[in-house]
Amino acid sequence: MGRPTKDQRREDYLDIGAAIVAESRASGATDPGLALAHVKLADVAERAGVTKGALYHLWPSQEAYWNDLLHHLLSTNRLFGADRLATMSAELIAARGEPQTLREWANELFDTVRADPAFFARVSLFAYLDDESVRATLDREARDAIDGLQPVLAAAVADMGRRPRSNGALRDLAVQLAALLEGLSLKYRVDPERTPDLPASRGRRLTLFAAAADALLQAFTEPVGDETATARGSVMVAGVGAEV
């Protein structure tokens, strides 16, 4: 086999950088400064079994490598997707195997997202929003997440004996919940005391996200049929019980 071409070597070194990003994300490591600042040329060279100078023949600086790595992550769809929100929601529902109140579902979703390394790795990419391709990718992933969340909300609303107040109400509700979850998770990351649990009856837990999710649900939907059924404590979220 002949010697790899310059383009092949560039691709190999960028793949190594992408692997380092994925490992950092999985380990929950936090990175000061730029989102890719922990990917050092020296580490990439060591993994590749070459000298650091070999990489400087391809990139004039560390920053140039980061720029190409970012676009490599974009082009290979290896960024940390916003669609993780809908995936987490579905996973939590499927894992329960028993009735689950809306409050419990929202509490668990908040607990999961606020500690998820992939979520914070993705948020760190906001440092690159001046890059049009980054903005486009994040926007597309956010839209995909909203589209994925809507079926969960549609099932919840129907099972609760409620209906959207307008044609676009479910999408608006999904947008509000996604933004709220992201914002509260960031607040928690800064200082957990900024997102304290609220007082709840019978010793039950009530996170700020769960309380707000319930209020938003009431605002974007309305009862149908027997309205007294909606007022009862046990209704359904995507096939599992929910409390309003």
The pLDDT, as a whole number, for residue 230 is 41
Same domain (yes/no): 23, 122: no
Nearest to 173, CA basis, from 196, 184, 157 = 157
In a domain, 25, yes or no: yes
Same domain (yes/no): 91, 111: yes
In a domain, 113, yes or no: yes
DSSP label at 196?
Answer: P
Final residue of a domain: which of 75, 98, 118?
Answer: 75
Asked whether residue 182 carries a pLDDT value surpassing 80, the answer given is yes
Same domain (yes/no): 54, 99: no
Same domain (yes/no): 143, 28: no
Same domain (yes/no): 64, 36: yes
Same domain (yes/no): 114, 204: yes
Count structural domains, the chain: 2
State the Cα–Cα distance between residues 9 and 164, nearest whole angstrom: 54
- Tracing tokens 């936090």 back to the chain, one arrives at 30
Asked whether residue 11 carries a pLDDT value surpassing 90, the answer given is yes
* Contact between 217 and 209 (Cβ < 8 Å): no
Q: If you average pLDDT over residues 209-233, what whole number do you get? A: 75
**Which of the pair, 200 or 117, is modelled with greater confidence?**
200
Residue 208: domain span: 84-242
CA atoms within 13 A on the CB side of 126: 8
In a domain, 151, yes or no: yes
State the Cα–Cα distance between residues 147 and 89, nearest whole angstrom: 13
Same domain (yes/no): 116, 190: yes
The pLDDT, as a whole number, for residue 73 is 80
Same domain (yes/no): 88, 28: no
Same domain (yes/no): 110, 228: yes
In a domain, 1, yes or no: no
Residue 189 burial by Cβ neighbours in a 10 Å radius (0-12, 13-18, 19+): middle
What is the pTM (predicted TM-score) of this model?
0.68
User: Could you tell me the pLDDT band of residue 126, with boundaries at 50, 70 and 90?
Assistant: confident
